[in-house]
Amino acid sequence: MAVNHPDIALGFEDEVWWSREAQPQMHAWSADKPVRLVEKAVPAKEPKGKAVACYGFYVPTAHLMLLRFIQGRPISAVTCAFLAWLAACFAAQGKRALFLIWDNASWHVSQTVQEWLKAHNRTAKYEGGCRLMVCRLPSKSPWLNPIEPKWVHGKRALVEPARVLPMAELMQRVCAYYQCELIDPIAQPDC
């Protein structure tokens, strides 16, 4: 449907953690001795933490990846902020609907997110804008989401074998790898 209607977009959403310590599983051939990654550790009192969470949205037909880092962890209120940002991005491109395919994470199926989606779609229908049509993947089926291999390849490409990356450099490298703009992280709401 999205292919035949230029005012409709289709994409896949997921969240991921980018660690400054953990190494992705990697395999390498070597002639003499095996290549070893150095075990890294972030100092315990590091204010930026060991990892940063990121929301991602992948549009396969355009080979487009949109990313937003977040301060803290994925929760319903942050998901709503990310969805509002996505809707604004696609409305600016002249899209009237965005088919959003994602998993059943607790912050996706929460009552807060479901109510926000209903309110947003009602407003978009009457005032104009991009409506969000959510399609859920079956439980425990990450292989159905084409953004998952994108995360794996990104983590392998960004690995730094000898040092802990500063958080700002990590976020810049992630955005450079996926060829997207680094935008200010979404803040956790005060509860």
Give which of 150, 156, 148, 152 is closest to 28, Cα–Cα.
Answer: 156
**CATH code for the domain in which residue 63 is found:** 3.30.420.10
Any domain includes 83? yes
Query: Which pTM was predicted?
Result: 0.84
- Cα separation, 100 vs 94, in Å, equals 16
Would you give the distance in Å from CA 140 to the centre of its chain?
18
Strands 97-102 and 64-70: unpaired
Any domain includes 20? yes
Q: What is the dihedral of CA 16, 22, 24, 30, to 10 degrees?
A: 160
Any domain includes 105? yes
- What is the mean pLDDT of the segment spanning 141-154? 91
Q: What is the pLDDT of residue 47?
A: 56
Q: Report the percentage of the chain scoring pLDDT > 70.
A: 83
Q: Max alpha carbon distance in the chain (Å)?
A: 67
Residue 90 has pLDDT above 60, yes or no: yes
Q: What is the pLDDT of residue 126?
A: 94
- Cα separation, 170 vs 17, in Å, equals 11
What is the pLDDT confidence band of residue 19, given thresholds at 50, 70 and 90? confident
- What is the mean pLDDT of the segment spanning 45-53? 73
What is the pLDDT confidence band of residue 72, given thresholds at 50, 70 and 90? confident
Residue 146 has pLDDT above 60, yes or no: yes
What is the pLDDT confidence band of residue 5, given thresholds at 50, 70 and 90? confident
Any domain includes 183? no
Any domain includes 47? yes
Residue span of the structural domain in which 153 resides: 9-26+38-177
Give which of 98, 53, 89, 45 is closest to 71, Cα–Cα.
Answer: 53
Q: Which residue has the higher pLDDT, 163 or 119?
A: 119
Q: What is the pLDDT of residue 26?
A: 52
Any domain includes 188? no
Amino acid making up residue 75: I
Any domain includes 165? yes
Report how many domains make up the chain. Answer: 1
Residue 121 has pLDDT above 60, yes or no: yes
Give which of 137, 161, 13 is closest to 79, Cα–Cα.
Answer: 13
Tell me the average pLDDT of the chain. 86
Give which of 27, 79, 21, 86 is closest to 54, Cα–Cα.
Answer: 79
Q: Which residue has the higher pLDDT, 34 or 68?
A: 68
What is the pLDDT confidence band of residue 42, given thresholds at 50, 70 and 90? low
- CA–CA–CA angle 69, 127, 181 (5° rounding): 20
Residue 130 has pLDDT above 90, yes or no: yes
Any domain includes 1? no
What is the pLDDT confidence band of residue 191, given thresholds at 50, 70 and 90? very low
